[in-house]
Structure 1
Amino acid sequence: MIDLIFLEDDPILGAELTEFLTEIGYRVTFVTTLAEFDAAFEPGRQRLAVIDVGLPDGCGLSVIQRLRQSGDRLGVVVFSARSTTLDKIEGLGIGADHYLGKGCDLAELSATLEALCRRLELTNNDAPWRLELGPRRLFLPDGTAVSLSQQDLLVLRCLMEAPGESISRRQIIQALGGDYMSYDQRRLDTQMRRLRRKVLESGGQALPVNTVRNSGYCFYAETQVRA
């Protein structure tokens, strides 16, 4: 996983976004103040940062300024309620790579981080997630095997044969042998929740599947599919 440090003073929002960032494939260190950031930041290990501006002990832009003055190549995304044009100009001028308002869709945050990873040539060196069709098993990167139902297998095959791509609900339902127009899509949502829970409880890792709002799902980690 790529390590990311997340600075946000709102504990509820911070917990929600930490969960989201973890679900889309990052190893997150969550801090709430500038002092906690300085104590937790490890140059060379954490290569991405998501930083709020308004903090109880100062301004998040001061962190970015210090990082840039030290020559650190950390990829930085400002994620702030202060999102006027002047705010963005100031943040980008100090050295942020991207500046997003907190009202943006989380899919935009995800896409921004992915683009930043590509530009900085950051790669995930974890072993791939492996799906074995015959035995109906999912192997996690650490080698843990999770037994699957036939429905689980069909959903994962649909997603894992096209890692990094958004797979529509229609495609998944058709892979399950259902008719999209008459299929109760709540069944698909329930199955995805059960599948995520099964993988987490069996292997201790979150299934790397991102929900694409109003569209479908995306398996965002490296995969192998074997007969």
Structure 2
Amino acid sequence: MTGLILLEDDPVLRLELCEFLDDCGFATDTAANLHEFHQRFAPQRHSIAVLDLGLPDGDGLQLIGRMRQSGHRLGIVVLSARGGTAARIQGLDIGADYYLAKGCDLDELAATLASLQRRLGFEHEERPWLLELGARRLTPPGAPPVALSQQDLLVLRCLMQEVGRDVSRQQVVEALGEDFLQYDQRRLDTQMRRLRRNVEQASGQRLPVKTLRNAGYCFYTAVHIQT
């Protein structure tokens, strides 16, 4: 899972972007200003940075210049309200790999980050997540197994059998043995939040499931299902 650090001073936008980036499969850390960025940035952990420019304690352009001078092999994407041509040229000249204006479609941000991963060679063959149906447990790569409830097992089997493909909420609900038309959708939201939390607390790893904006879910990394 690629480590990413997000620098954004607006707390609401920072939370929204962090959740989106996590859903895209990044291990995301956040900073609200330059001071926090320098405290939290770790070259051995962070391969990509998504940076705002207008910050309460300085200018993100100076940060980009310093990062490039340091020689860190870091992919840099600017996400800024400075959307004019001159600002974009300045950002790219100083060392940003991509420059996006705030308000861009989040799918454009996801595609930009995927392109940056490919270009910098950060993509690699991942060890699979193991789902053991009989033992009713999920084992993340390099982490201890996580015990599952029967409902968690049914949800994960539904998603992991369609790995890399979008699975609708209706498919998940029907995998639980429920009538989709009668089912309270809030129950599924609660179950997914609880499942994510339990996996992360037990294993230290984020569950690689992307939420498809009220449409469904996608388990996006390598899997192995054992009966």
Sort the TM-score into its range (normalised by shorter chain): 0.7 to 0.9
Gap change, CA 1:173 and 1:15, over 3 Å in 2 = closer
Give the counterpart letter for 1:223 in structure 2: V
Report whether the alignment pairs 1:217 with 2:217. yes
Give the counterpart letter for 2:150 in structure 1: Q
Rounded to whole Å, the distance in 1 between the matches of 2:73 and 2:22 is 22
Contact 1:23 1:206 in 2 (8 A): no
Report whether the alignment pairs 1:191 with 2:191. yes
TM-score where L is the length of structure 2:
0.79
Map of 1:112 onto structure 2:
112
Q: Which moved more, 1:126-135 or 1:197-206?
A: 197-206
Rounded to whole Å, the distance in 2 between the matches of 1:43 and 1:146 is 30
Gap change, CA 1:65 and 1:166, over 3 Å in 2 = farther
Rounded to whole Å, the distance in 1 between the matches of 2:29 and 2:53 is 17
Report whether the alignment pairs 1:166 with 2:162. no
Gap change, CA 1:74 and 1:136, over 3 Å in 2 = same
Map of 2:79 onto structure 1:
79
Query: Displaced runs of 4+ in structure 1, greater than 6 A?
Result: none
Report whether the alignment pairs 1:152 with 2:144. no
RMSD: 3.1
- Structure 2 unpaired stretches of 5+: none
TM-score where L is the length of structure 1:
0.79
Map of 2:88 onto structure 1:
88
- Structure 1 unpaired stretches of 5+: none
Contact 1:2 1:124 in 2 (8 A): no
Aligned length: 227
CA positional deviation for 1:77: 1.1
Contact 2:25 2:210 in 1 (8 A): no
Map of 2:5 onto structure 1:
5
